[in-house]
A = this chain, B = another copy of it.
Amino acid sequence: MPDGPVNADARAAYYAGIAQKHMAPLWESLHNLVPRQPASRCLPAIWKYENVRADVLASGELISAEEAVRRVLILENPGLPGQASITQTLYAGLQLILPGEIAPSHRHTQSALRFIVEGRGAYTAVDGERTTMRPGDFIITPSWTWHDHGNPEAADGGEPVIWLDGLDIPLLRFLDAGFAENYPTATQPVSRPEGDSAARFSHNMLPVRYQPGGGSSPIFNYPYERSREALDQLYRHGELDAWDGVKLRYVNPATGGYPMPTMATFMQFLPAGFHGRTYRSTDSTVYSVVEGRGTARIGDQQFDFGPRDIFVAPSWQPVQLGALEDATLFSYSDRPVQAALGLLRESREA
């Protein structure tokens, strides 16, 4: 214990001395390092689809999908510039694939999701099976699975297809756990017919000798048609949560867990006139609007959202959702990470 007051100069000299040895005084930064509550550098933000769609299409003029490997515009959180991060842990981007193009096959330990925003005719291939992408479909390419994309329509007959990519790139960068490799050929061979995974795993049945492993779902397309029907039925049955509306989470049917170990995904329905109550949670969430219009109050900002808009709610910011028309929102977050580490905290305000 010091005998008396220590003057500022002495402290400065001391701090400079220990800095040479790669040391620093905790007491000068304790309150920042162990904060009262989260104060994320991530900011609430929205990308209006009408403002970015032309840019996405213009990228098709700049570079080919194959040259780009993935022709994507990254959505960067305004609070995290230059970090390819839409939240601290998550990445989001809008990917374009034009008729006749392919995005070559590779694999990486980053988990990826695709949420289809517009266009028809493209496919994603995962470990030998292709699935057709339709707007509103939620598709996964789990960690370390070979995957490629293609839009096989003739250039004059097909449509540009745009989807939202969600990955855990910032998380794996932080954890120094990223590995990647390219497939020897641009397109991996097809070894199973389309629908094979769905047949095996989507009927509340599993192959009798199947053992879940790795934590990712064995089905990789969750079609919008089914998700939308589930929400509709529940709403007709009177389900309506004052915070969430009608909200379902996608699951790995072999475990009941999240489809991938690092990202949770949700689809929710807000009926016209819904004024949700305020909640907050330590997971940060990226929303992609499928249908309808409404408002999202996040922290001290208010956003008007419409179809295909993308917005982001940082950790522990108060969030309040409302709907002017019947609205359907897809969302993804780092909830499985928070939950696995015992860190998830939620608050629902009355």
Contacts and interface: CB of A to CB of B under 8 A. Distances in A.
Interface in A23-51: 23-27, 29-30, 33-40, 42, 45, 47, 51
A159 to B, nearest CB: 14
Interface stretch (A228-236, A286-294, A295-303, A319-327): A228-236
Interface in A190-225: 192-193, 195-196, 199-200, 202-209, 212, 214-217, 219, 222
A1 B100 contact: yes
A183 interface: no
A256 B179 contact: no
A143 interface: yes
- Counting every copy of the chain, the complex holds 4
A350 interface: no
Interface string A118-162: 000000000000000000000000010000000000010000000
A176 B315 contact: yes
A262 interface: yes
Contact of A174 (B88, B216, B344): B88
Nearest to A61: B2
Contacts of A18: 52, 55, 73
Nearest to A64: B1
Contacts of A77: 22
B29 A176 contact: no
Contacts of A328: none
Nearest to A26: B72
Contacts of A255: 255-256
Contact of A337 (B17, B67, B205, B341): B341
Given A33-B173, A177-B338, 18 more contacts: A1-B60, A6-B61, A21-B52, A38-B178, A109-B345, A172-B343, A174-B174, A179-B345, A203-B226, A203-B248, A204-B217, A206-B251, A207-B234, A208-B248, A208-B266, A256-B256, A262-B342, A336-B341
7 contacts: A1-B155, A34-B180, A38-B176, A38-B179, A175-B337, A199-B229, A209-B241
